[in-house]
C-alpha cells in the first residue's frame, strides 16, 4: 500500500474540505505517517475517515476532528505544548512540526516507552514522552502555551487551566449535558480562563473525566 499517496488523499478529502487549509497544519499531516501510530491490523485503514483504537482507552480521532482542534489551538512555532492522554503519540508528532517543543503525557509506563521509541525511530526530536497522572497535568514543566487533550471530556480539571501561560490555550472537546460534544479553546487572561466555541464533534471519550453521578432517592 502506498501510504504517502494515502496521506495526500486524506488531506485533500478529509481536512481541506473541512475548512482546515492552514499550510503548517497541512504540512504536519503530510509529513507524519499516521500508519506508524496504529496497530498492524489497522494499517490498511490508517488514512480512512475512522477513529482507530491504539490501546485500551486510547484512540486516534478522525483526521477531520483532529485537524479542526489543531486549527482552533492556534499553535505557533515558539510554543511549548503539553499533550494530555497522548496514547500512541500521533497528535504529539503532528504538533512537533508546528511548535518549538511538545511533551506527551501518559499514565502507563509502557505507553510512554513505546512513544519514546516511536519518536526516536521516526526522527521527531522536538517531541518527548513522560509519565504522570492526566488530571494533574505537568506542573513542574509549565506554564504551557498550549495544552491539547486527546480525548473528549465532560469535566475540565483546574490543573489544566492553571498551567497555562498568560494567553495560553487549552484545546479540547467537551461533552455537554445536552449530549453534544463541542470543541472549545480556553484562553488564560490573568487568573481566569474563558472559553470559545470552535466546532461540534463526538470523538472517543476519556471516561475518567466524566461528571460524578448525583445520588437520587
Q: 124-158: per-residue pLDDT in tens?
A: 999 999 999 999 999 999 999 999 999 999 999 99
Of all residues in the chain, the percent with pLDDT exceeding 90 is: 96
How would you label 6-45 residue by residue, b for 16+ Cβ within 10 Å and e otherwise?
bbeebbeebbbebebebeebbebbeebbbbbbbeeebbee
- Cβ contact 44:1 at 8 Å: yes
Q: 27-64: per-residue pLDDT in tens?
A: 999 999 999 999 999 999 999 999 999 999 999 999 99
d(C-alpha 126, C-alpha 167), whole Å: 22
| Per-domain boundaries in the chain | 50-209
Q: 162-179: per-residue pLDDT in tens?
A: 999 999 999 999 999 999
pLDDT of residue 215 exceeding 90, the answer is no
pLDDT of residue 214 exceeding 90, the answer is no
What pLDDT sits at residue 117? 98
What number does CATH give the domain 50-209? 3.40.50.150
Q: Please provide the DSSP assignment of 183-213 as one string.
A: EEEEEEETTEEEEEEEEE----B-GGGPPPP
Measured from the Cβ of residue 192, the count of other Cβ atoms closer than 10 Å reads 9
Amino acid at each position: 500500500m502506498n501510504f504517502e499517496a494515502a496521506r495526500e488523499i486524506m488531506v485533500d478529502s478529509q481536512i481541506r474540505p473541512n475548512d482546515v487549509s492552514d499550510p503548517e497544519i497541512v504540512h504536519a499531516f503530510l509529513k507524519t505517517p499516521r500508519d506508524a501510530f496504529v496497530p498492524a491490523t489497522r494499517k490498511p485503514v490508517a488514512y480512512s475517515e475512522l477513529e482507530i483504537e491504539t490501546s485500551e482507552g486510547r484512540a486516534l480521532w478522525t483526521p477531520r476532528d483532529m485537524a479542526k482542534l489543531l486549527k482552533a489551538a492556534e499553535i505557533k512555532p515558539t510554543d511549548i505544548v503539553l499533550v494530555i492522554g497522548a496514547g500512541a503519540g500521533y497528535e504529539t508528532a503532528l504538533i512537533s512540526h508546528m511548535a518549538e517543543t511538545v511533551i506527551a503525557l501518559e499514565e502507563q509506563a509502557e505507553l510512554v516507552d513505546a512513544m519514546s521509541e516511536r519518536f526516536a525511530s521516526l526522527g521527531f526530536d522536538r517531541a518527548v514522552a513522560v509519565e504522570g497522572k492526566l488530571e494533574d497535568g505537568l506542573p513542574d514543566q509549565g506554564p504551557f502555551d498550549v495544552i491539547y487533550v486527546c480525548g473528549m471530556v465532560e469535566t475540565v480539571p483546574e490543573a489544566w487551566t492553571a498551567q497555562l501561560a498568560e494567553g495560553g490555550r487549552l484545546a479540547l472537546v467537551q461533552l455537554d449535558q445536552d449530549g453534544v460534544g463541542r470543541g472549545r479553546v480556553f484562553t488564560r487572561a490573568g487568573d481566569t480562563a474563558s472559553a470559545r466555541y470552535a466546532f461540534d464533534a463526538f470523538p472517543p471519550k476519556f471516561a475518567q473525566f466524566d461528571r460524578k453521578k448525583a445520588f437520587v432517592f
